Each structure stands twice: as C-alpha cells, then as structure tokens.
Structure 1
C-alpha cells in the first residue's frame, strides 16, 4: 500500500476536529481538496474510515483502528527523521570528557550546563584522571576532549585556552621564604621539590623547573597526588610549584602559598587530538567558548586571585 504522509496527516486532522470545514481551515487547504484526499485514502485502505452526515463527522470502527496506526506511523517517522538530522549534524551520541583534578575550576559546572542545554541528546561520559596522566585520557585515546594544563607530551594536540592563572610556591609555614609577598624561581632551585609522579616528560619538566636549572638536576620527591604533594610540603620535606587554584581548593593549616613572580602563568583549557576528529567535540568547545564570554567576572577572579600582596596561608 503506497500511502503518502500528507494523506495520513489530513486524516489525523479530520479525526481530531471531526469537522471537515475546521480541519480544512487548520490545514489551510480547500475543503473540497481535503474531502478528495480522504476519499482517496479510504480507497487505498479499502474500507470507510469516516461516517459523514450533513451535521456531523465520526470515525467508523475501522477508522478508530486505523487512527492509532496512522498516528504511531507518523510519530515514528518524525522521530526517525529528527534522529537522522541530529546524527548528520553530529549532535547525538556519547562524548568522552577527561579531566585532571580541579577540571576547569569554577567554570566546570557552567560549561557542562551550557553543553547539556544545547545538546540534550548527547550523553557525557566524564572521567577524572590522576596527574600521572596530565593529558586526561587524550594520550591513551579514551577522551574525545579533556580539561588539561599544557604542556603535555602529545604532538597532535588542538588546545582551546579558557584562562591563565598565576603560579605559587607552596612552602611549609616554618620555611625561610614563607613570610614573603613573592619569590623568584632562583630562590627555589636548591630546594627539594615535590612533583606528582608522571611518565610525561613535559609535565615533569614544567613543575620541577627544569628550564631554569641550566642542566642541573632537581631533587624531586615523587608523590601520587596533589594532596600528598601538599602534605609533603606541610611536613617541611619539600616545596612545590603549583597553579594558584590550590589556594582555594587545597588549603592546609601548615602551608603558605607565595606567588612566584617570574614564572609564566598556568593556562587551563580544552584539549583534543587532531588525529582523532570528532564532531561532538566541536560542539563542546563551542559551548565552552560561550561560557568563557559570559563568565568574564569569574575568569577575572581566577586570573587575578591576589587582591593584596602577602603570603596566603592555607
């Protein structure tokens, strides 16, 4: 049976209105044309679907049965067309999002909310990675996108920056530099330095200050997490160099945080691999850009956290 969707829609409208005149007005066609379409539909089905008198229109028993099937068929067709359109535009499926501890700080929730609001049919699979993998799943191929802090050892990396925050030295309260308003890198080079254990050479070099050592070797104390790193600092076993967000997210009674004045800031953003293109990741980055523009005040606070120049006690 070769049924056109137009005939089915016309039939559903008449069945809803139970009046040819009102149905034709709703469909914006002539009543005569509507009557012709319904008659052709009944001929195709092989039985009367509507009982018409000069005063009323009602469904026949066969018409009531056909009505349910017609409605189901059209709803399924519309759902299928919508799903196909979303797939074609890359707005359905599952997006794997990796993140290191802290993710995008105060922007995390806003970015996820913006993305889910725009693309409710995309499922998000979120996974936190320890600092042993600063690529947050990109290197191993699990993550489609990830909140990361370069540098990471990954050649095929696209990176969308969100903000750049200052770097601080974490020092025991009893350390000789703990009372300073700022320190310079050169003042830290003779100190044992706590660095989260990682196989990524770029990460290790960044946070052990390799570029400033002139070929010298750092005295590194390996740790398994930033929490352990700060604990080592509090016990006076090492210092640590870390993004300023640690002041808000990992306060410690035994630690002072002092800005490092001659170190570049730490940039956090969204990374993805150029050799693994993913349309869904484009939408995620677009949502993050919207949030970045909306939340300028939040970003300003992240990027300039020190309202007064004094050491910050945890």
Structure 2
C-alpha cells in the first residue's frame, strides 16, 4: 500500500465531519472528487471504511481503526516536517572571537549577550591577544572575527568601525606636564614614548604621533610588551605613553596621571575579518553593528568619556 498524504488527509477530514459536503468545502474539492478519493483509499486499504446512506455517513469498525492510524501518521509527518524546518534555521557551530585588551570596552557585553541570545546553539570562544598581535588571531586562522584597533598595515583585512576614542597621554607624577587638565601634541614630542614590540608601520606612525614630527626629529621609542608593562615604564619616568581614553577607566596605576590630548587624532576600534569569512562571522558582524546602532547613549559615552559615570 502506498497512500499519499493528500488521500490520507481527505479521509481524516471526512472522518471528522461525517458529511461529504462539509468535508469537500474544507478540502476545497468538489464532492465528486472527494468521493473518488475515498473510494481509492478503501481500495488501497482493502476494507470498507464508511457506510453511506442518503441521510448520513458513518465510520465502520475498520474505518475507526484506520482513522486512528491515519491521524497518528499525519501528526508524526507534520511534526517531522516542522522539526526539519526548525533545524534548517538553527545556526550552530563554534565562533572564535579574537580581541585586543578590553575588547570593545563597555560595548563588549551587550554585543556578546545579544549574539548568544540570538544564536544559543553557537559556542562562542573569545581570546585576548597581546599588543604585538595586531590582527588578534585573524591571519594565523586562530580567530574567525576580531575586535582590533586601527590603523594596521596587515593586508587582506576587512574592517568596519564600532566607535572612536580621543587619545590621552600617560605621564608620571613629577613630570613637567603633571597636574595639567590637558596637553597638546606639541608638548609631548620631546619625550620618549612607549610602543609595543614588533609594531607595524601604520601603528608605529599613529602611536608615536609621527604626523606631527619633522623628519629630523623621529620619536625615541621605549619598547613594551603589554599594557601593564607600559604602566610600569611610564611610572618609572622612562617614557610617556600615548594611548586611548579607555585607559583612564581600565588601567588605573599609582603614580601616573592621565591627560587628554586636545589635538590628537582619534583611536578607532573596529571589527575585522578576512576572506575566510563564514556565515557565523556574517551573523556576528550583523549583531555587533545592530547593537552599536541601538546603544547610541553608550557609544556616545565611550566616544566622549566625560559622559561616563
């Protein structure tokens, strides 16, 4: 027996209505067509399923047994179809997120929470990379998508900004600029500056304020390996640090003052990915940008630190 679902559904509807006219209306069929389908079902089953008179239609004992089985079969088929469609829509797998120190600052938690809420079947693994790893694991393939600071000279990266921050100077207490409310770039050019090891050209130029220096006065660089290392170097008086304003909130250190630089360029935090992008990467980017655009007050506060509590 090879009954297709159209015949089974016609049988079940007639078994519910016990009236050819009403059943035909529900099925959007002519009564003659419905009668033909029921006869075909009975022929294939090999039993009389209904008794018919001019006044009423009734299920036979065989019809009742077949009705129960037909309803169970259609219910199982409908469930299987719905489950297949649901699983087709489920996004699963593992997404490796690389990020710099402090990632996307106060925007990090809303982004990660929103992504996990939308895609609970995705395992999100995040890893912080050292200052010298400019692409936060992308080029090595350890990360699928990363949160980095621009600029970088790394080729083949696609980026989209999340926000930008003003720059500040880290100076030790006792420095000639200590106690000031702010400083200008020109007031910092005579000091050695910290810079992470293996810095690429674009970042070296940006973080040493090279655009403000003449060719005859390049920056004197004191190499560092981490943000903590930078604080120790500055605190010892060996150099000043040029960094993003977030350091005032996330890198407190005794003996160091944090001075806004009034005329420096801004530091941009961005999402980055490569041509190896996957659907999971696309979804993460979509979520991150949606959160960025939704959390306008939070982004404004990051971009203008005086607005933060």
Which stretch of the first structure deviates more once superposed, 176-185 or 152-161?
A: 152-161
Which residue number in structure 2 is paired with residue 29 of structure 1?
A: 27
SS at match of 1:248: helix
The structure 2 residue matched to 1:78, chosen from 78, 82, 89, is 82
SS at match of 1:306: helix
Contact 2:301 2:307 in 1 (8 A): no
Which residue number in structure 2 is paired with residue 263 of structure 1?
A: 264
Extract unaligned runs of 5+ from structure 1: 309-314
In the alignment, is residue 125 of structure 1 matched against residue 113 of structure 2?
A: no
The separation in 2 between residues aligned to 1:289 and 1:56, in whole angstroms, is 63
Cα distance change on mapping 1:189 and 1:73 into 2, 3 Å = same
Contact 1:152 1:203 in 2 (8 A): yes
Shift of 1:243: 0.5
| CA RMSD, 1 decimal | 3.9
CA deviations 1:38-88 (Å, max 9, x no partner) are: 8866876x588x99995999998898788777655543443333434x38x
In the alignment, is residue 220 of structure 1 matched against residue 221 of structure 2?
A: yes
Shift of 1:276: 2.8
Which residue number in structure 1 is paired with residue 136 of structure 2?
A: 136
Which residue number in structure 1 is paired with residue 234 of structure 2?
A: 233
Extract unaligned runs of 5+ from structure 2: 52-56
Which residue number in structure 1 is paired with residue 254 of structure 2?
A: 253
Which residue number in structure 2 is paired with residue 311 of structure 1?
A: none
| TM-score for both structures, normalised by structure 2 | 0.76
Cα distance change on mapping 1:257 and 1:62 into 2, 3 Å = same
Residues 23-62 of structure 1 aligned to structure 2 (within 5 Å): 28-29=26-27
Contact 2:50 2:59 in 1 (8 A): no
Cα distance change on mapping 1:6 and 1:280 into 2, 3 Å = farther
**Higher radius of gyration, 1 or 2:** 2
Shift of 1:264: 0.6
Residues 84-103 of structure 1 aligned to structure 2 (within 5 Å): 84=88, 86=89, 91-103=91-103
CA deviations 1:214-243 (Å, max 9, x no partner) are: 334433222221122112212222211110
Which stretch of the first structure deviates more once superposed, 57-66 or 158-167?
A: 57-66
Contact 1:20 1:34 in 2 (8 A): no
The number of residues matched between the two structures is 297
Which residue number in structure 2 is paired with residue 208 of structure 1?
A: 208
The separation in 1 between residues aligned to 2:213 and 2:4, in whole angstroms, is 77
Contact 1:51 1:60 in 2 (8 A): no
Cα distance change on mapping 1:7 and 1:62 into 2, 3 Å = closer
Which residue number in structure 1 is paired with residue 54 of structure 2?
A: none
